[in-house]
Amino acid sequence: MLDLAVHYLLARKKQTSLMLLGVFFGTASFITLSGLLLGFKDYLVNQLVNNSASIHIGPADGAHFVQDTKAWYGRLDADPRVVAYSPQFIEPVIFSAGGAGAPGLMVGCDPRRQTQVTTIIGYVVEGSFSDLGAGGRLIALGAELRKKLGVALDQEVMVSPADGVPKPFKVVAVFKTGVQQGDSMAYVPLDAAQKLAGSGAQVNGIAVKLADYSAAASIADAWSKRGPEKAESWDQENPNFVQTFKAEDMVRFLSIGAVLLVAGFGIYNVLNMMVVQKRKDIAILRSMGYSFGDILTLFFSQGVILGASGGVLGLLAGYGACLYLRTVSFGGNPMGAGTGHLAVSLNPAIFLQALLLALFATSLASILPAYSAAKLAPIEIIRAGAE
């Protein structure tokens, strides 16, 4: 039956080629667009999670510090889902050097723990982040902040808390994540931040890295019920990003769905015409003993063959297009990865979705013509004057 279906398709090479191209372009477009959008999404999530944390534990409403930090450390140490955590003291301050000044966030941390929670060490372009471990008034500046202040390594930056005396900090590292907000902050040793703010040994945050960041929201909700402190996941802190990702997914499926819908209508029209033109053949096949199911399979399989062939060719073309786009220099962020090239995803789910969409569209377009052909009886064809 498949041989006969292929014979019918090859008998109309031009029509078959046009139908095949419709499925091919729809599938290839879906993969290329999905690769770009999901690559962009993965890049942003990587920036949000790996440069910050999966979950942030902060003070309760009305409080300034995290209470009973030892209890929290014990819970985090005992939780197998936690990869690492880093106590922090975060304070808005004014940075100044010479006649330049800029507001920003000062993050006091244990540099060893901080590099376990985030990938900040991978973004250091000058100096060494681990030098903060020496303690004292040392600072690692974001590239944007460093640009505003116009300082270099080993020079001093004055750090002024909201209610305190400015103190000089020596620049030991400069990092560049490519995200302006992140590059406008600075890291200092935890004890130096606490002394500057006069907070004693208190911390006002704990950054937590999970083995599975996608489960962060449910884990943060559960932790928030354990005590007065607030626990927020990366996606709860950035709800606009999550909504943007959902909108992108909808646009992706709708836009490529429209292409495949057009291809499906083409297949439907061609197969419908084929049923009319092949009425004599259908009558002969039915007279030879071919059943309703056989005729249904004959015409339905033509659409499936087109969907599978066009889908596979589209997969190969889409994969090639994604590989090429990965080599395109974009000059960095936000669409580009840290390498300066476009961030394009090659997630296997993209290719599976593309193939399933192609098969679904072509199968749906083939079922009605196939059913119309299968229900034709030889006597009806003779009465209609079929030759």
Domain limits, the chain:
2-47+241-383, 52-237
pLDDT at 193 over 50: yes
pLDDT tens across 312-363, in order? 999 999 999 999 988 887 655 544 545 567 888 898 988 998 888 888 888 8
The answer to whether residues 127 and 141 touch, using CB atoms and an 8 Å cutoff, is no
Instruction: Return the SS3 of 165.
Output: coil
Structure-derived torsion over alpha carbons of residues 88, 89, 90, 96, reported in degrees to the nearest 10: -120
Q: What is the mean pLDDT of the chain?
A: 84
pLDDT of the residue at 340: 64
Percent of the chain exceeding pLDDT 90 equals 36
Does 330 or 74 have the greater pLDDT score? 74
pLDDT band at 208 (very low <50, low <70, confident <90, very high): very high
Q: What residues contact residue 50 under an 8 Å CB cut-off, 6+ apart?
A: 118, 119
Q: How far apart are CA 214 and CA 353, in angstroms?
A: 21
Dig out the tokens for 22 from the structure: 């419709």
Q: How far apart are CA 316 and CA 68, in angstroms?
A: 57
String of DSSP letters for 95-149: EEETTEEEEEEEEEE-HHHHHHHS-GGGGEEEE-GGGGGG-SSEEEEEHHHHHHH
Angle at 81 between CA 77 and CA 84, to 5 degrees: 50
pLDDT tens across 222-281, in order? 998 887 889 999 888 877 777 777 777 787 777 767 776 776 777 777 777 777 666 677
Q: What residues contact residue 74 under an 8 Å CB cut-off, 6+ apart?
A: none
Beta-carbon neighbour count of residue 117 at 10 Å? 24
pLDDT tens across 24-67, in order? 888 888 898 888 888 887 777 777 777 778 999 999 888 889 98
String of DSSP letters for 339-373: TSBB-----HHHHHHHHHHHHHHHHHHHHHHHHHH
pLDDT of the residue at 164: 75
pLDDT of the residue at 387: 47
Amino acid at 226: R
pLDDT of the residue at 386: 44
**Of residues 130, 135, 205, 121, the one with CA closest to residue 169:** 135
pLDDT of the residue at 290: 75
pLDDT at 123 over 70: yes
**Of residues 83, 92, 67, the one with CA closest to residue 116:** 83
pLDDT tens across 275-303, in order? 766 667 777 777 777 787 887 888 788 88
pLDDT at 138 over 70: yes
pLDDT of the residue at 380: 61
pLDDT of the residue at 106: 95
pLDDT tens across 361-370, in order? 888 878 877 7
The answer to whether residues 50 and 43 touch, using CB atoms and an 8 Å cutoff, is no
Whats the size of the chain, residue-wise?
A: 387
pLDDT of the residue at 334: 47
Q: State the average pLDDT over residues 143-149.
A: 93
| Preceding omega of 334 cis (within 30 degrees of 0) | yes
**Of residues 256, 275, 271, the one with CA closest to residue 360:** 256
pLDDT of the residue at 382: 59
